[in-house]
Structure 1
Amino acid sequence: MRLTRYLSLYLVKLALTATFILAFIAEILDLVDNAGDIVDRGEGVLGILRYVALRFPTLLNHALPLGTLVGALLTLLLLARNSEIIAMRASGRGAWALFFAMAPGALALVLIHSTLIDVVTPRTESALAIWLTRQIEADGEKADDAKPTWIRVGDSVVSFDRVKRKGRALKAVRIYERDANKIVTARITAAEADYEDGRWILKGAERVSWQRDTLNEKRSADGVWDTTLVPDDVLSALTPESRVSLTAARAVLSGRQTPNAPLPFYETLVERVYSAPLGAIVMVLLAMPASLVNWRDARTGRHGLLALGAGLCFLLSDGMLSTLAMTGVIGPVVGAWSSLLAFAAFGAFRLYRMDGGWPERASAPAARSRLAEAAR
């Protein structure tokens, strides 16, 4: 129990330290691009601090897998440096025992990653999107200069330039009505849309028909807008797609919320909420060969390099397959789980060989024969 607590705390401490350092470096690079715009809007230092607070959880979420790999490698290398692994092996503990002693720390990192993915990051990114939109309003920029946000509502396609009152007011709204064949039949432009008493009210609206028998016929469209769009859908449209919460994704798949992306994106997201945090356990598993590093023998450094390379390959393949699944090229389950399971099997096989002994090189028996003959 003491050994498990010691190794798990060691792992969590080093992994979180590495994660914060990586996220801090990414935050500095991000501020290089965005700090000037925040200062120009008159926010000053407080605006920069608010931006950092809302942006930092996203960067932590991106950095945690790599931070876990670095933390696990540092844990094993420091244990090897202090000859603690030798003491563990001398007491009869093998590689699997070492891994299971670090497993509670890996599970703690899984819980932290799950919280970031499904609870913290969706809220902070939504708050950041709303704050940036409010800053555009405060600048008094023209609607033509604002970047429009697009969203699909049923068969219609909607765009708006600005958002106010937490998604309950839209500015410069354009609604493109489409028929069953996805052909645009009319366009509605409105200066403003307000959400009141559970329905949208268009103001300063005009409808232009693009059907053959009523081509370019114009009429006023002020009044109630018959749509399933709700303010939460507006906020989701402002939030980067990669951080939609599990609840929101399930609401889209069940038809209770308007999708802002193809359905495979949300199907993959549901799988990723469960599979992505488990990557922490795989990272620890892939890092285990680093326990074979001997600081007195430079040749054993290849074990540490192999562990680092395997972790980076896992990150690359996991991200690539997830992207393919979100775009519908492969199935959501395949994209979210295949890389995780494949590298977990590879890590378990390496750990098995570590406990079972590495195979001797083909030249080793011949070398021993020559030494025995020389001794005679």
Structure 2
Amino acid sequence: MSFVKFFPSRVVAIYMSKLFVVRTFAIMAALVMVLQALDLLGQSGKILAVPGNGDAEVWRYVGLRAPQIIAFILPFSVLLGTILTLSTMNQNSEIIALKASGLSAHQVLAPLVLASLVVAIISFAFNDRIVTRATATLNQWQKVDYGPLPIDRGDRSNVWVRDGDDLIEVDQIKGRGAAAMLGGITQYDRSKGNLIAILQGERGTYTGQGWRITNVSRFDVASGKLSKLGDVVIGRNVRPDQFTLASVDADSLSFGALRSAISDLADAGRPTKALEGSAWHKLSAPLSSMLMPLLGAVAAFGLARSGKLFLRAALGMGLGFAYFVADNFALAMGNLGAYPPFLAAWAPFLLFFLIGEAVLVRSEE
């Protein structure tokens, strides 16, 4: 049997796909409006409490928060759209007509699976290009308590690193890796926890064996004297990535940027297991939309007049929500290091795929 013959007729496939897509996005729109309104009730007071903030800032918050809510609610909407579509077709005896024409349960579901694949692709692109940027901007705005949003030029500021007992503070860092440029450097020279001297310099560059600091002045704590030292090399054990690699927020980075950050952290000897799990989850999460027709298919088969249609719909919703619980649990275990990253992201998907297949075969029998 060819791939094309696996699907029902073109008219039926388009009809089912249209029903599924319209219901999915209608449910998503309704849920997003409700959740956005509830979220705004809790945050609007904080936004308007800042002097100078008004309606424009409230709408800015809505524009930044809405993509996060859409990304969160879309898989649930696909599940509910699947159950509503299949239960309606079952109640109207359309599923019985399709099966009477010789179609198997998998062929009946094929249009919905294909449509959900398109939804998954759109979801991945939306998450990768829009949600990550909105999350990064919203996180920065919330750090300043909804005040004036700082301009992000890719630089880092107020960075602290440790060099043995000594502490090094840098006001601003430009660039990355060995090409990083430090500005406003302060080294706190300590011995056994006691502060001995404070060194301050204007600019710093990496020499390969330390950081050359220009125009250094040294304040001796014991004598209280300030002396000029010129150029000094400090931080011989401090690698460039210790300045340029911050704590990586997986939700604020696209898939490609996250993979690049993981590579940099791995080269620097930093732990990356949790971030690797998040990177894999950026692929498995959108693909969960393809599972929803399979998990919700229990609502499609069986006689509607038996009075058990509602129970089958509830079972489909239960399977779908159980998947999301298992997915979050596995991701949490991956973040704790209990599960390998690949297993944490893909195990729930594969497990519920098998469960959905088993329920579908059982329902068909």
| TM-score of the aligned structures, taking structure 1 as reference length | 0.75
* Residues 202 and 225, structure 1, Cα contact 8 Å, conserved in 2: no
SS of equivalent to 1:254: helix
Structure 1, unaligned runs of 5 or more: 140-162, 180-184, 358-376
Question: Residues 309-347 of structure 1, C-alpha deviation per residue, up to 9 Å, x if partnerless?
Answer: 111111100111012112211101111111111110111
Q: What's the offset of the Cα at 1:75? A: 0.6
Partner of 1:287: 296
* Distance change >3 Å, CA 196–CA 92, structure 1 → 2: closer
- Does residue 50 in structure 1 map to residue 35 in structure 2? no
* Residues 268 and 335, structure 1, Cα contact 8 Å, conserved in 2: yes
- Does residue 202 in structure 1 map to residue 189 in structure 2? no
Partner of 1:125: 135
* Residues 180 and 244, structure 2, Cα contact 8 Å, conserved in 1: no
* Residues 161 and 243, structure 2, Cα contact 8 Å, conserved in 1: no
* Distance change >3 Å, CA 228–CA 57, structure 1 → 2: farther
Seq. identity, %: 22
Distance in 2 between the 1:89 and 1:313 partners? 29
* Distance change >3 Å, CA 210–CA 285, structure 1 → 2: same
Partner of 2:200: 220
- Does residue 17 in structure 1 map to residue 2 in structure 2? no
Q: What's the offset of the Cα at 1:63? A: 0.7
Distance in 1 between the 2:159 and 2:353 partners? 49
* Distance change >3 Å, CA 346–CA 118, structure 1 → 2: same
Q: 2:123 aligns with which of 88, 113, 118?
A: 113
Q: What's the offset of the Cα at 1:53? A: 0.9
Q: 2:84 aligns with which of 44, 58, 74?
A: 74
* Distance change >3 Å, CA 68–CA 269, structure 1 → 2: same
Question: Residues 126-178 of structure 1, C-alpha deviation per residue, up to 9 Å, x if partnerless?
Answer: 23234445676649xxxxxxxxxxxxxxxxxxxxxxx54434363xx251314
Aligned length: 320
Structure 2, unaligned runs of 5 or more: 1-9, 207-238
- State the one-letter code of the partner of 1:202: G
- Does residue 186 in structure 1 map to residue 166 in structure 2? yes
Alignment of structure 1 residues 346-365 onto 2, 5 Å: 346-355=355-364, 357=365
Single out whichever of 61-70 and 272-281 deviates more from structure 2: 272-281
Q: 2:110 aligns with which of 100, 115, 120?
A: 100
Distance in 1 between the 2:115 and 2:131 partners? 22
Question: Residues 229-264 of structure 1, C-alpha deviation per residue, up to 9 Å, x if partnerless?
Answer: 699966x85xx53343211221123227999x8401
* Residues 228 and 258, structure 1, Cα contact 8 Å, conserved in 2: no
Alignment of structure 1 residues 1-376 onto 2, 5 Å: 1-41=10-50, 42-132=52-142, 138=148, 164-168=151-155, 170=157, 173-179=158-164, 185-189=165-169, 192-193=171-172, 195=174, 199-203=180-184, 205-212=185-192, 215-224=195-204, 226=206, 228=240, 240-255=249-264, 262-292=271-301, 294-355=303-364, 357=365
Question: Residues 49-94 of structure 1, C-alpha deviation per residue, up to 9 Å, x if partnerless?
Answer: 1111111111111111111111100111111222222222222223
* Distance change >3 Å, CA 136–CA 348, structure 1 → 2: closer
Distance in 1 between the 2:145 and 2:174 partners? 21
Distance in 1 between the 2:82 and 2:144 partners? 42
SS of equivalent to 2:103: coil
Q: What's the offset of the Cα at 1:125? A: 1.3
* Residues 134 and 164, structure 1, Cα contact 8 Å, conserved in 2: no
| TM-score of the aligned structures, taking structure 2 as reference length | 0.78
Q: What's the offset of the Cα at 1:291? A: 0.8
Distance in 1 between the 2:267 and 2:66 partners? 28
Distance in 2 between the 1:315 and 1:232 partners? 35
* Distance change >3 Å, CA 292–CA 211, structure 1 → 2: same
* Residues 302 and 363, structure 2, Cα contact 8 Å, conserved in 1: no
